[in-house]
């Protein structure tokens, strides 16, 4: 496995003091709890909602079919648009942004690895109409992704584009749509069968936020010319590391325990701060998986616990000049995770120029040195202010290391859910909003829900208008 380092020195009492740091004996004291959490996750690999653990180990033939489909899409289409939301969008967004050229969509076609790529995960009317100003639907492959096949946002986007494609292409429109959903049930599946769209199936036990290594992500990645085998190899190798018994050898178990220990001491905010623009949307991926999986009202025995840790996204170095002030001097309620990159894909020197004056100290260094020095300097400033932080250090950013990082985040979340004793895989809070939307838009069968919503609005007199 390529080097993947988890440096947690700055979490320890030796670095930041007894009050906010982890005593050296904490792991030993909690060893039974850690072992039970590990066992709970690993004994259920591939079972129930934990089918995601097996995604890196799929058949070679399946990957080859996806790769070939991706090649055909690349040959035929100028644009690839994902319609999806939450777990059906954030994985594709995070990985594509990590692995494509940072200005992918702006490159000329010959210079681009694949079609221009858009993930449309909102129903803002201005955004929907703006999309049509930059793509020609006839030259676009639309990948409609929803596990449930019922999500209103995604279905509305489908209807929006179907109308356009039907008018422009008639029967041939079906070549421009590919569907990723649960086979055999749901509105999207029924529409796909009726209209003859190609369908990629999602495993029953793969939940949205754990689905990036299923066709939810793999189909877009194949269309973009990314190396699926390498991505899955990175994920598989990380998966093996996450099965190790000793917490000191198991990065995700250690990451989960560090966070758990902090939560128990009032650190209710988890900041994710990569120091690489390519990893900016990994923070969005993290915020969803961490927030939606751990934020639960009740624990597994039904006791009210209001568990969870609020995830916050930040980007180094940009947010050093905004949020870091709060992190170093504000409330003692945060843990900061840095993601560092050892080897960037470009090396850019800061040149020596005549008359550099006070800027001369920067000359002949590289931006590579600068960004990593700033990461270490920020960690130092946090330690000085007694704020817990740890660093995930990647060798570089490529398919393999991105596979490692995704699997690390998924296992870290699963172990944290087990430590907190909550149901990592449900999302009743999200479902409630979905159902209320159906009711408000008049979906048959939701009449009672509409009455409930109307009766909840009794505070009209407290509106400032």
Q: Is 86 in the site for ligand PA5 (CB under 6 A)?
A: yes
DSSP letters, 294-328, are H-EEE-TTS-EEEE--EEEE--TTGGGGTTHHHHH
Q: Is 220 in the site for ligand PA5 (CB under 6 A)?
A: no
From 120, 292, 398, 399, residue interacting with ligand PA5 (rule: CB under 6 A): 292
127/185 with CB nearer ligand PA5: 185
Instruction: Write out the two tokens for 296.
Output: 């639960």
Look up 434 and say whether it is catalytic: yes
From 298, 430, 440, 450, residue interacting with ligand PA5 (rule: CB under 6 A): 430
From 10, 79, 140, 146, residue interacting with ligand PA5 (rule: CB under 6 A): 146
| Least distance between ligand PA5 and beta carbon 54 (Å) | 18
Q: Rounded to an integer, what distance in angstroms lies between the CA atom of residue 289 and that of residue 304?
A: 21
Q: Is 308 in the site for ligand PA5 (CB under 6 A)?
A: no
Closest CA to 342 of 425, 279, 426, 287: 279
| Least distance between ligand PA5 and beta carbon 181 (Å) | 8
Look up 292 and say whether it is catalytic: yes
Q: Using DSSP, state whether 261 is helix, strand or coil.
A: helix
Catalytic residue among 19, 28, 321, 461: 321
| Least distance between ligand PA5 and beta carbon 286 (Å) | 13
For Cα atoms 128, 406, 28, give the angle at the middle one, nearest 5 degrees.
140
8/286 with CB nearer ligand PA5: 286
Q: Is 176 in the site for ligand PA5 (CB under 6 A)?
A: no
Look up 261 and say whether it is catalytic: no
From 38, 147, 233, 280, residue interacting with ligand PA5 (rule: CB under 6 A): 147
Closest CA to 182 of 210, 150, 139: 150
Residues 6+ positions from 76 with CB-CB distance below 8 Å: 141
Q: Rounded to an integer, what distance in angstroms lies between the CA atom of residue 320 and that of residue 326?
A: 10
Q: Is 209 in the site for ligand PA5 (CB under 6 A)?
A: yes
Alpha-carbon torsion (244, 245, 251, 255), positive or negative: positive
Q: Rounded to an integer, what distance in angstroms lies between the CA atom of residue 194 and that of residue 216?
A: 21
Query: Interacting stretch for ligand PA5, rule CB under 6 A, among 45-53, 145-153, 319-327, 347-355?
Result: 145-153
Tell me the chain's radius of gyration from C-alpha atoms.
23
Number of residues lying near ligand PA5 (CB under 6 A)? 15
Q: Is 154 in the site for ligand PA5 (CB under 6 A)?
A: yes
The residues binding ligand PA5 (CB under 6 A) are: 85-88, 146-148, 151, 154, 207-209, 292, 427, 430
Q: Which residues are catalytic?
A: 292, 321, 434
């Amino acid at each position: 496995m390529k080097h993947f380092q988890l440096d947690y020195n700055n979490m320890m009492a030796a670095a930041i003091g007894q009050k906010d740091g982890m005593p050296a004996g904490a792991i030993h004291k909690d060893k039974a709890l850690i072992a039970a959490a590990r066992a709970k996750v690993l004994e259920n690999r591939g079972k129930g909602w934990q089918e995601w653990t097996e995604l890196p180990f799929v058949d070679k033939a399946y990957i080859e079919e996806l790769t070939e489909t991706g090649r055909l899409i690349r040959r035929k289409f100028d644009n690839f648009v994902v319609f999806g939301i939450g777990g059906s969008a954030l994985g594709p967004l995070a990985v594509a942004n990590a692995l494509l050229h940072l200005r992918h969509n702006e490159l000329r076609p010959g210079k681009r690895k694949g079609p221009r790529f858009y993930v449309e995960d909102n129903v803002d009317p201005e955004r929907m109409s703006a999309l049509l100003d930059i793509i020609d639907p006839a030259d676009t492959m639309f990948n409609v992704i929803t596990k449930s096949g019922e999500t209103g946002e995604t279905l509305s986007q489908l209807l929006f584009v179907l109308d356009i494609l039907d008018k422009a292409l008639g029967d041939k429109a079906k070549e421009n749509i590919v569907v990723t959903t649960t086979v055999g049930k749901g509105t999207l599946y029924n529409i796909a069968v009726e209209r003859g769209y190609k369908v990629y199936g999602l495993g029953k036990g793969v939940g949205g936020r754990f689905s990036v290594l299923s066709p939810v992500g793999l189909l877009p990645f194949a269309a973009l010319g990314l190396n699926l085998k390498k991505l899955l190899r990175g994920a598989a190798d990380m998966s093996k590391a996450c099965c190790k018994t000793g917490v000191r050898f198991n990065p995700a178990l250690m990451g989960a325990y560090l966070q758990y220990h902090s939560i128990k001491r009032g650190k209710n905010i988890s900041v994710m701060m990569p120091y690489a623009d390519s990893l900016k949307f990994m923070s969005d991926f993290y915020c969803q998986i961490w927030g939606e999986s751990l934020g639960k009202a009740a624990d597994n025995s039904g006791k009210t616990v209001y568990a969870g840790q609020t995830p916050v996204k930040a980007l180094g170095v940009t947010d050093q000049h905004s949020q870091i002030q709060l992190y170093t001097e504000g409330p003692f309620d945060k843990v900061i995770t840095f993601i560092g990159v050892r080897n960037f894909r470009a090396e850019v020197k800061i040149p020596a120029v005549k008359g550099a004056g006070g800027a001369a100290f920067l000359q002949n260094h590289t931006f590579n040195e600068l960004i990593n020095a700033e990461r270490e300097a920020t960690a130092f400033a946090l330690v000085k202010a007694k704020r817990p932080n740890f660093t995930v250090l990647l060798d570089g950013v490529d398919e393999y290391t991105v596979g490692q990082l995704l699997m690390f985040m998924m296992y870290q979340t699963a172990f944290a859910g087990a430590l907190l004793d909550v149901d990592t895989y449900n999302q009743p809070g999200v479902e409630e909003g979905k159902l209320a939307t159906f009711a408000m838009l008049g979906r048959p069968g939701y009449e009672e829900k509409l009455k409930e919503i109307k009766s909840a609005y009794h505070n009209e007199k407290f509106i400032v208008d």
